[in-house]
Amino acid sequence: MTEKTTQGGMKYYVTILLAGLITAGLWQFPPYGDYILWPFTLLATWVHEMGHGLMAELLTDFVRLEIYEDAGGVAMTAQSQSGIVNGLIAAAGLLGPAFAGSFFIIFGRKEKTARYLLWGLGLIMGLSIAIYVRNGFGVFAVGSWVAALSAMAFFAPDKMCYFFVQFIGLQFCINNFKDFDYMFIESFQRPGGEVMLSDTGAMAQNLFLPYWVWGSLVAGSSILMLIGSLYIANRKGQTKSGASE
């Protein structure tokens, strides 16, 4: 392995470590850390609800998406007579962020492709406003991200785009662990008083096994996707000849 390869791998790990330390550090200082991470929490909510919605679009129908100021959201989908279909729609919301985060980490491993990922995410978010988002705050939140991503993709230097893509990818992958207890409750009460099934509760109701088993499987899958994406990204960042891409 050449020195160039070693430096490339070290740069990648330093980037991920820095992104993780920033996130973990901000988590330790509520409510100020929560305020700083609030835009990223809204982004993770969008990915979560789009996971539900896009799976529903494939299997039933994605009606609308709403995002609220408390960073909560809802994807309104058509119910199916099939428990398997409803279970898959519930699971997609939990696994969607980890899948998207892994995609960003792997394909954003190079500075040039990182910029394209920012353009792509901004485009998809813009299309979601036109097709699915139907409440005022949701349009504002998603639209603000479209503007921010477009500005960064257009004006920011390569290194900043690279770090930001890796930071977003990491946020997506660890999103489930920020509200870890959500994966291990059967139902919850919304601010308005409405009691709803959690995603794992919906999986248990429509499939088999208790909700805490599904929560454990989702948590384990999220960890494996994060570790796997970090390994693949670092490995693909090196050529067989020993030169870093």
Model pLDDT for residues 18-67, shown as the tens digit of each residue: 777 777 777 677 777 788 888 988 999 999 999 999 999 999 999 999 99
Helix residue spans in 60-181 (DSSP H): 83-107, 111-131, 136-155, 158-173, 175-178
State the average pLDDT over residues 129-148: 97
Residue 239, pLDDT score: 44
Residue 241 lies in a domain: no
**Cα gap 94→108, rounded to integer Å:** 22
**pLDDT category of residue 230 using cuts at 50, 70 and 90:** confident
Residue 243 lies in a domain: no
Number of domains in the chain: 1
Residue 33 lies in a domain: yes
Q: What is the pLDDT of residues 161-206, one digit of tens each?
A: 988 998 899 888 887 777 778 889 998 877 777 788 999 999 999 9
182, 198 Cβ separation under 8 angstroms:
yes
How far, in Å, are 163, 182, 202, 234 from residue 34 at the CA level? 21, 17, 28, 30
Q: Give the residue among 118, 61, 115, 93 at the shortest CA–CA distance from 175.
A: 93
Higher-confidence residue of 217 and 237: namely: 217
User: Which residue reads 């290194």 in tokens?
Assistant: 159
Cα dihedral 133, 138, 140, 141 sign: negative
Report field, pTM of the whole predicted structure over 0.95: no
Residue 244 lies in a domain: no
Query: pLDDT exceeding 90 applies to what percent of the chain?
Result: 57
Residue 77 lies in a domain: yes
Higher-confidence residue of 104 and 2: namely: 104
Residues 6+ apart with CB under 8 A from 110: 162, 237, 245
Neighbours of 156 (CB within 10 A): 16
Structural domain boundaries enclosing 156: 3-236
Residue 5, pLDDT score: 40
173, 226 Cβ separation under 8 angstroms:
yes
**Cα gap 8→23, rounded to integer Å:** 23
pLDDT for residue 240 is more than 50: no
Using DSSP, state whether 73 is helix, strand or coil. Answer: strand
Residue 237, pLDDT score: 57
State the average pLDDT over residues 142-167: 94
Instruction: Provide the β-strand partners of residue 238.
Output: 244
Instruction: State how far Cα 183 lies from the chain centre.
Output: 15
Average pLDDT value over all residues in the chain: 86
Nearest-Å Rg of the Cα atoms of the chain is 19
Residue 52, pLDDT score: 96
Residue 148 lies in a domain: yes
**pLDDT category of residue 6 using cuts at 50, 70 and 90:** very low
